[in-house]
Structure 1
Amino acid sequence: MCACLQGYDLISVTEMWWDGSYDGSLGMEGYGLFRKDRQGRQGGGGVALYVNDQLECMELHLGTDEEQTKSLWVRIKGSTGTGDIIVGVCYRPPDQEDQVDKAFYRQIGATSCSQALVLMGDFNHPNIYWRDNSAGHKQSRRFLECVHNFLLQVIEEPTRRGAMLDLVLNSKKGLVGNVKLKGSLGCSDHEMVQFKILRAVRRVHSKLTTLGFRRADFGLFRDLVS
């Protein structure tokens, strides 16, 4: 319903704990789905990215480090003269090992050569003080150092119980704008983060006829269901 009402082009989900048993229920009309499920019972949450079917895109594979990290990367074709956009989605468990952190930093380094990189997700670094760029934990300081080498962080408000766990990072000032926290979805205790990528993307020209869901009477629909 959020996708229909808001018309989002990209929807990322982190810590979603999906596995193969959900395959038949994850599709969403009008969107392609990229996902990286949790691995094993103790594997923590996975990540997913829904992309509007009208956008040209492909998943990127960055090498052997991919199996360790809970992240995925998708290249979205830019319109003529603007270049492509790389979108990354990450979930970092609070107890993630140093070697997995380092593997993720190598992925950031590999994708940072793009002039347009947007990376979002739940990074679980609550002790980073973004206003003065300091951190009280060794792993958080390493993350902060990596980010400062490549990316800008645009979230300014807490996203979970007074902590800023969910971040949106980008490679160029002015690439991301209109950042808003939109409250929680369902029983989640994290805020939804909404933002715009201020760059044109190429859309696929389609001759298929589609239903105009955005003009539907969802109030009447809810009344009928209840």
Structure 2
Amino acid sequence: MLDLALTMEGLVRNVKLKGSLGCSDHEMVEFKILRAVRRVHSKLAALDFRRADFGLFRDLLGRVHWDKALEGREAQESWLVFKGHLLQAQEQCIPTKRKSGKNTRRPARMNKELLDKLRHKRKPTEGGSKGR
């Protein structure tokens, strides 16, 4: 384990041998472990199926002459051809949305409808009593 830590560039500094510990033939090693760099949350792009145009998607894939496109090909090669057409149609028909970092995600059970109800519940009603 120590060999791995010492060979990873930029992980440790100031490595010094401090002599043996008592009568042991093992030597003590002193080193400074550098602070890990903060993780940067990348902005992920996710497919937004709610705004997708599935009619166009179906049409685009329906226009492909699959018999001709896959004729004489092995299974792996056929898969790559199909995958290419699928991804091309996906790019045209399904928009993407940015997903933010892990800390800003809300639980799946907190959908828009539930959040709207909670927001409405928290708003004070007009003409309601203040002494509640």
Counting strand residues as a fraction of each chain, which structure ranks higher? 1
Fold match (TM-score > 0.5): no
Higher RCO (CA < 8 A, seq sep 6+): 2
- TM-score interval for Structure 1 and Structure 2 normalised by the shorter chain: under 0.3
User: TM-score, with normalisation over the residues of structure 2?
Assistant: 0.24
* Higher helix proportion (structure 1 or 2): 2
Answer with 1 or 2: which has the greater Rg: 2
